[in-house]
């Protein structure tokens, strides 16, 4: 058992003995740093696997298929993105991360993204004058549903409000396999549907729902 698994198991046991409020009170979110890379990568591996689980939620990639490549990609994001956060529980162990792009950063890598989205007729497009796009949220697989994702969002929202940004967009995959955990999380966080996008990825066409929330 590696160090992170051991920690996660301890956290799991702890969450059974502590009430949920106490567990949540121990959570802390902060900006990611290069030192966090290994733990971030392990968390990505726990939910970004070859075999995807709709109910637990998943990341599109299979992170353990090419450790060097994915660690490099994650490191680049830690260094570049203004809004890359980790959540820690007791012992300062990382239990989840959230990676978000500013509009400028997002369009740098996805030049035609705004044109590719089929915007919902009722969506007010003035909301995309400036925005933050959440690219990935990942909670260590055995620890989902304990408020870690919500804690990461709290810090993101606090930071973007300081910059005067009030609109958040997030994509959720519904085909070829729906991400039910992500859909439930969006609902819980009061997002509304803003559009749909078809995305070609590794020889397949994915369907993404674009969700929006004003803060
Ligand atoms: C989706 C995800 C980020 C949510 O984070 P989290 O820490 O589990 O969520 P929280 O505990 O803060 O919020 C809980 C709410 O999210 C929803 N939710 C989270 N996981 C869920 C699941 N597996 N099934 C159904 N609903 C789920 C529920 O509405 C839940 O509210 P409830 O506890 O009152 O029922 C997390 O489950 C995860 O990392 N999943 C795997 C990766 C992924 O799918 N990421 C999103 C796409 S990038």
Instruction: Report whether 40 contacts 32 (CB < 8 A).
Output: yes
Predicted local confidence at residue 23, as pLDDT: 78
Average pLDDT over residues 2-18: 54
Instruction: Report whether 207 contacts 173 (CB < 8 A).
Output: yes
pLDDT score of 17 more than 70: no
In this structure, what CATH number is given to the domain that contains residue 127? 3.40.630.30
pLDDT tens for 145-200 read 889 999 999 999 999 999 999 999 999 999 999 999 999 999 999 999 999 999 99
CA 92 to ligand 1 center in whole angstroms: 21
Q: What is the torsion angle, in degrees rounded to the nearest 10, for the CA atoms of residue 63, residue 146, residue 194 and residue 125? A: -100
146 lines ligand 1 (CB under 6 A): yes
Predicted local confidence at residue 7, as pLDDT: 54
SS3 111: coil
**Full domain range(s) for residue 203:** 3-214
Question: In whole angstroms, what is the distance from residue 59 CA to residue 19 CA?
Answer: 29
- Residue minimizing CA distance to atom 5 of ligand 1: 149
Domain count of the chain? 1
145 lines ligand 1 (CB under 6 A): yes
Predicted local confidence at residue 12, as pLDDT: 60
CA distances (Å), origin 53, targets 121, 177, 180: 32, 9, 9
Q: CA nearest 87: which of 123, 158, 14, 138?
A: 138
Predicted local confidence at residue 144, as pLDDT: 87
CA 56 to ligand 1 center in whole angstroms: 8
pLDDT tens for 41-88 read 999 999 999 999 999 999 999 999 999 999 999 999 999 999 999 999
Give the relative orientation of helices 37-47 and 67-80 as an angle to the nearest 10 degrees. Answer: 120
94 lines ligand 1 (CB under 6 A): no
pLDDT score of 213 more than 90: yes
Instruction: Report whether 161 contacts 215 (CB < 8 A).
Output: yes
113 lines ligand 1 (CB under 6 A): no
């Amino acid at each position: 058992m590696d160090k992170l698994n051991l920690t996660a198991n301890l956290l799991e046991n702890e969450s059974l003995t502590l009430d949920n409020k106490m567990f949540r009170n121990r959570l802390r979110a902060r900006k990611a740093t290069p030192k966090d890379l290994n733990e971030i990568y392990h968390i990505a591996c726990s939910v970004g696997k070859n075999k995807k689980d709709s109910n637990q939620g998943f990341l599109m990639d299979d992170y353990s298929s090419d450790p060097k490549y994915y660690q490099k990609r994650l490191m680049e994001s830690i260094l570049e993105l203004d809004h890359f956060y980790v959540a820690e529980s007791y012992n300062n162990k990382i239990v989840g991360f959230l990676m978000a792009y500013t509009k400028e950063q997002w369009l740098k890598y996805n030049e035609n993204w705004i044109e590719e989205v089929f915007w919902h007729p009722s969506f007010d497009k003035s909301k995309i004058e400036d925005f933050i796009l959440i690219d990935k949220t990942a909670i260590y697989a055995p620890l989902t549903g304990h408020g870690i994702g919500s804690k990461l969002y709290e810090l993101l929202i606090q930071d973007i409000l300081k910059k005067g940004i009030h609109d958040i967009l997030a994509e959720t995959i519904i085909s070829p396999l729906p991400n039910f955990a992500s859909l439930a999380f969006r609902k819980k966080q009061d997002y509304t549907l803003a559009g749909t996008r078809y995305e070609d990825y590794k020889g397949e066409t994915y369907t993404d729902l674009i969700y929006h929330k004003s803060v």
